[in-house]
Amino acid sequence: MKKNKVIFLILAIVFLLGMVLIGLDISRRTTFPGSKGNLKERIAPSDSIPVK
């Protein structure tokens, strides 16, 4: 392979690995919305609760 092609492949692999690591980090810090319990705010919208 030519030198430029090798450099491009190395940089592409490093970039893709970085993107995968960032994606894994973000996915670990967030929770899936379906795994949360049913909170009062989620069951009844705030505008349907009577205000006294």
Q: How many angstroms separate the most distant Cα atoms in the chain? A: 76
Alpha helices, DSSP H, located in 1-52:
3-29, 40-43
What does the alpha-carbon distance between residue 9 and residue 2 come to, in Å, rounded to a whole number?
A: 11
CA distance 48 to 41: 10
The residue type of 5 is K
pLDDT in tens, the chain (52 residues): 799 999 999 999 999 999 999 999 998 988 777 676 666 666 655 555 566 6
Global pTM reads 0.58
Name residues whose C-beta falls within 8 Å of residue 42's C-beta, 6 or more positions apart in sequence. 36
